[in-house]
């Protein structure tokens, strides 16, 4: 083990951002000028450049042109027992609609093989008839069922082969996933980049768009295309070898288990989830859209009235000298003068959705006094809420409605696939540094939960029913598991309320003093307040919140907040110790581990208080080494001494002084504190993510769930939703909860899950809300209409 405990932990924030910049100049899309250059000329040029870059692989690449050759390659793979696999598609990254162009295989001791399937004649467009068929591919891949299959971004290959050839295969290793598990801070986990970084730094950079100049890949001669395609599987294999060697080192034992137990198996689970997709209730969506557009129209007309009233004031302002000045804006922390004057920036009528224009309206024209010193021209919601003007109230309402409409109500139906009218989000296993999934196109993890109407857009397929469950307080329970805090453990064992327990520990009072209701059911207003404060405190503690912000969120004075944090530490000493030890260990090793060994590397923790950068030279980072110039070193040492025990005031002076000598001083305090805040949270958030992934795998592989035809559809961090045959609703729901609870027994903490069974997402809550409306006097006829059938059934049920 080296000085930092892990050889990947040497890249600081500074270095990382520099590399990210280098990255940007990768080849961009080729412009379409097809009319000027003939296809033949282009192909000629492509052939030359492909050979120039990849010609060296020609001798170790073969194109498979017959079933016999294919069979014998597959047999060879079976003998060797391990193979890298990669698919190529027709310029499409969407497995649902793409065509399979060819398959690539590489196994040790053999040339890399490209098996073309759908290349066409560039003149006639006809499929080259000698190629193997999708049926052949399926047959061969299925023979690999006992062979270890290696992929790079195997989710794509899995989905492509399932969609185009109707075959599936187990993923033994994925080099993209492994790369991220080995170091989540690298600027790229892409195959070619990883190959350059880990295997051969001399390898020339290239990408498929850039090599084939945006042409339809199918028209490229398979022999030529093979040089690109088959090389991918070769590189994947080489990467695997490197990663395997790394991961069998004793210090990486837990990472390897994490990969085998969680990260590799989850690939197939997520692939299937994405392929299934989730249905939208079309009728309901249309109704909802109409309802919200109507609401928006009303707000807009009121806003127009308000603006009309302000017109004289606006006109007058535009003539003031201030309005005629050129405005400033902030770019990377520096003030930059705009080309437009303030008056020119303000449209007529002012665009209230534009932060710039709204700021002018509020602070310049309406002379609203500054609310947040740190953000004097801010227009965020918490600032607007403190401005007591009718127009501002309308703006908040307009914003909410616009956001709901643009981001969800009107946006989601547009994203449904034409093929099956369903939403097929992309769940990105590598999307976060902590181990959580991220989600795009659309991001199902940001569908409003407070506004229940939006989630109601999602529904089960006909004959199916949505079965969901969320972990109750997943992260606090993990904190309890880590710290073994006796008060928290007891509280969970007894099924008591977490926040009331926190309250009694912090305030030193009775448990019931911190509950919303007394033991006999009567209201306890003070308790309600305290409990809410504890909820905020918990969040604050796990995110490393400072006392100032904490006091704002807890609605108390700064002194009270400081006292509460202090009392938390004395009231829960095991938690406090665990947090301290986490930070200490992190500062020493440069990384933290989650409950199952996932690492979050925080190299900034190893940074010195100050770094130095010579003008026009690389930054000097003592962890990495200097540029080696003696004169530089002397200068730096001089300033290092000057910076010892320096006051905040003098720092600026010294910084300026150094600048004159060509030395830039970089203060790392901010980076270091940020990393300190991250390290506690990363362990908790990471463990929660791993736990949910373990549950997903258990659910996917469970025979009973298979019997119920249960399919996972959505994961939202601590919440899982799937659908199953209607008749098995109860059984599947019970089983779901059981599997979620038992997948992490090693936590040795009580786990609780809250299940739901419904036709639409959040329909239970939705129906309850409507029943509440009924109880407040709306007639039953008005109540029941305009809702999906399933909701009406629930309402009737609740009314009885």
Nearer to DNA, 549 or 580 (CB): 549
Span near DNA by CB under 7 A; candidates 168-176, 372-380, 510-518, 701-709: 372-380
Beta bridge partners of 88: 102
Tell me the angle at which helices 282-318 and 390-403 cross, rounded to the nearest 10 degrees. 140
Nearest distance in Å: CB 220, DNA? 24
> ∠398-400-401 over CA atoms, to 5°?
65
Tell me the C-alpha distance between 707 and 613, whole Å.
64
Look-up: residue for tokens 């398959």?
A: 103
Site for DNA in 527-586 (CB under 7 A): 536, 539-540, 543-546, 548-549, 553
Site for DNA in 680-709 (CB under 7 A): 681-682, 685
Beta bridge partners of 469: 720, 755
Nearest distance in Å: CB 402, DNA? 7
Span near DNA by CB under 7 A; candidates 234-242, 398-406, 504-512, 589-597: 398-406
Residue 355 CB neighbour total at 10 angstroms:
13
Nearer to DNA, 275 or 371 (CB): 371
Tell me the C-alpha distance between 175 and 244, whole Å.
10
Site for DNA in 7-36 (CB under 7 A): 24, 29
Q: Is 318 in the site for DNA (CB under 7 A)?
A: no
Site for DNA in 412-451 (CB under 7 A): 428, 431-434, 436, 438-443, 445-451
Given 399, 529, 640, 792, the residue binding DNA (CB under 7 A): 399
Nearer to DNA, 74 or 502 (CB): 502
Tell me the C-alpha distance between 383 and 632, whole Å.
48
Joined together, the tokens standing for residue 99 give 């065509």
CA within 13 Å, CB half, 55: 8
Q: Is 60 in the site for DNA (CB under 7 A)?
A: no
Nearer to DNA, 81 or 670 (CB): 670
CA within 13 Å, CB half, 13: 17
Site for DNA in 714-773 (CB under 7 A): 716-719
- Residue 417 falls in which region: left (phi positive, over 0), alpha (psi -120 to 50) or beta: beta
Site for DNA in 373-392 (CB under 7 A): 375, 378-382, 384
- The residue count for binding DNA (CB under 7 A) is 76
Nearer to DNA, 550 or 739 (CB): 550
Buried b / exposed e across 152-162, counting CB within 10 Å, b at 16+? bbbbbbbbbbb
Nearer to DNA, 259 or 359 (CB): 359
Site for DNA in 335-354 (CB under 7 A): 336, 338-340, 345, 351, 353-354
Beta bridge partners of 611: 666
Nearer to DNA, 572 or 610 (CB): 610
* Residue 592 · residue 527 · CB < 8 Å: no
Nearest distance in Å: CB 408, DNA? 8
Residues 6+ apart with CB under 8 A from 657: none
Tell me the C-alpha distance between 729 and 756, whole Å.
10
Residue 714, classed as helix, strand or coil, is: strand
Of the candidates 728, 725, 720, the one whose C-alpha atom is nearest the C-alpha of residue 699 is 720
Nearer to DNA, 6 or 718 (CB): 718
Q: Is 303 in the site for DNA (CB under 7 A)?
A: no
Look-up: residue for tokens 């506004």?
A: 451
Nearest distance in Å: CB 540, DNA? 6
Nearer to DNA, 118 or 176 (CB): 176
Nearest distance in Å: CB 793, DNA? 25
**Interaction pattern, residues 200-219, with DNA; x per rule: CB under 7 A:** --------------------
Look-up: residue for tokens 């933290």?
A: 592
Q: Rounded to the nearest 10 degrees, how much is the dihedral formed by the CA atoms of 763, 769, 770, 771?
A: 110
Tell me the C-alpha distance between 785 and 610, whole Å.
66
Given 45, 205, 249, 403, the residue binding DNA (CB under 7 A): 403
Site for DNA in 639-678 (CB under 7 A): 648, 667, 669-670, 673-674, 677-678
């Amino acid at each position: 083990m080296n000085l930092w405990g892990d050889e990947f932990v040497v890249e600081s924030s500074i270095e990382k951002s520099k590399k990210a910049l280098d990255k940007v100049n990768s080849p961009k899309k080729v412009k379409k000028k097809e009319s000027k250059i003939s296809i033949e000329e282009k192909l000629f040029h492509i052939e030359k450049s492909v050979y120039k870059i990849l010609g060296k692989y020609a001798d170790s690449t073969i194109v498979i042109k017959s079933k016999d050759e294919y069979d014998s390659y597959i047999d060879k793979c079976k003998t060797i027992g391990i193979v890298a696999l990669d698919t190529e598609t027709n310029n499409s990254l969407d497995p649902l609609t793409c065509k399979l162009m060819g398959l690539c295989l590489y196994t040790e001791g053999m040339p890399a093989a490209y098996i073309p399937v759908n290349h066409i004649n560039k003149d006639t467009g006809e499929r080259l008839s000698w190629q193997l068929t999708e049926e052949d591919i399926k047959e061969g891949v299925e023979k690999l069922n006992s062979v270890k299959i290696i992929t790079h971004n195997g989710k794509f290959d899995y989905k492509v082969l399932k969609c185009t050839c109707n075959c599936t295969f187990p993923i033994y290793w994925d080099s993209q996933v492994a790369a991220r598990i080995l170091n989540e801070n690298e600027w790229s986990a892409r195959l070619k980049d990883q190959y350059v970084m880990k295997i051969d730094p001399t390898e020339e950079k290239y990408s498929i768009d850039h090599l084939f100049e945006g042409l339809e890949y199918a028209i490229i001669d398979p022999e030529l295309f093979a040089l690109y395609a088959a090389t991918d599987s070769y590189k994947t294999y080489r990467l695997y070898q490197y990663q395997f060697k790394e991961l069998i080192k004793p210090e990486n034992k837990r990472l390897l288990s994490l990969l085998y137990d969680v990260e590799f198996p989850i690939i197939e689970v997520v692939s299937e989830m994405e392929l299934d997709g989730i249905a939208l209730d079309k009728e309901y969506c249309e109704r909802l859209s109409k309802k919200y557009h109507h609401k928006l129209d009303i707000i807009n007309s009121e806003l127009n009235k308000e603006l009309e009233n302000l017109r004289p004031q606006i006109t007058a302002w535009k003539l003031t000298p201030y309005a005629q000045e050129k405005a400033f804006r902030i770019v990377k922390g520096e003030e930059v003068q705009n080309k437009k004057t303030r008056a020119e920036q303000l449209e007529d009528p002012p665009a209230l959705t534009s932060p710039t224009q709204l700021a002018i309206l509020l602070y310049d024209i309406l002379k609203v006094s500054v609310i947040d010193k740190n953000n004097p021209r801010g227009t965020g919601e918490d600032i607007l809420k403190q401005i007591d003007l009718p127009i501002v109230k309308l703006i908040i309402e307009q914003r909410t409605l616009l956001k709901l409409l643009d981001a969800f109500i009107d946006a989601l139906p547009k994203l449904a696939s034409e093929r099956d009218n369903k939403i097929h989000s992309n769940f990105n296993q590598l999307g976060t540094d902590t181990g959580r999934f991220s989600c795009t196109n659309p991001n199902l993890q940001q569908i409003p939960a407070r506004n229940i109407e939006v989630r109601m857009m999602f529904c089960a397929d006909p004959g199916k029913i949505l079965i969901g469950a969320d972990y109750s307080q997943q992260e606090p329970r993990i904190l309890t598991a880590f710290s073994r805090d006796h008060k928290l453990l007891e509280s969970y064992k007894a099924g008591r309320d977490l926040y009331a327990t926190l309250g009694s520990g912090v305030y030193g009072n009775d448990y019931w003093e911190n509950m919303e209701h007394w033991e006999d059911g009567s209201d306890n207003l003070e308790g309600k307040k305290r409990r809410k404060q504890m909820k905020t405190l918990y969040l604050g503690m796990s995110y490393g919140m400072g006392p100032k912000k904490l006091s704002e969120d807890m609605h108390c004075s700064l002194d009270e907040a400081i006292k509460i944090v202090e009392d938390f530490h004395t009231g829960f000493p095991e938690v406090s110790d665990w947090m301290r030890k986490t930070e200490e260990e992190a500062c020493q090793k440069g990384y933290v581990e989650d409950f199952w060994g996932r690492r979050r590397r925080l190299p900034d923790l190893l940074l010195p208080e100050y770094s130095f950068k010579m003008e026009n030279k690389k930054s000097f980072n003592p962890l990495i080494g200097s540029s080696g110039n003696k004169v530089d070193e002397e200068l730096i040492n001089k300033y290092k001494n000057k910076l010892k025990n320096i006051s905040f005031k003098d720092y600026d002076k010294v910084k300026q002084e150094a600048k004159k000598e060509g030395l830039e001083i970089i203060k790392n305090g901010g980076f270091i504190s940020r990393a300190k805040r991250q390290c506690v949270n990363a362990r908790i958030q990471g463990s929660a993510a791993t736990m949910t992934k373990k549950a997903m795998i258990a659910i996917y592989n469970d025979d009973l769930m298979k019997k119920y035809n249960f399919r996972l559809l959505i994961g939202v961090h601590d919440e899982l939703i799937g659908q199953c045959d209607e008749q098995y609703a109860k059984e599947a729901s019970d089983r779901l909860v059981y599997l979620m609870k038992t997948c992490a027994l090693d936590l040795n903490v009580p786990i609780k899950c809250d299940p739901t069974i419904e036709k639409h997402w959040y329909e239970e809550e939705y129906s309850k809300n409507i029943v509440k409306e009924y109880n407040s006097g709306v007639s039953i006829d008005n109540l029941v209409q305009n809702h999906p059938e399933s909701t009406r059934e629930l309402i009737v049920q609740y009314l009885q």
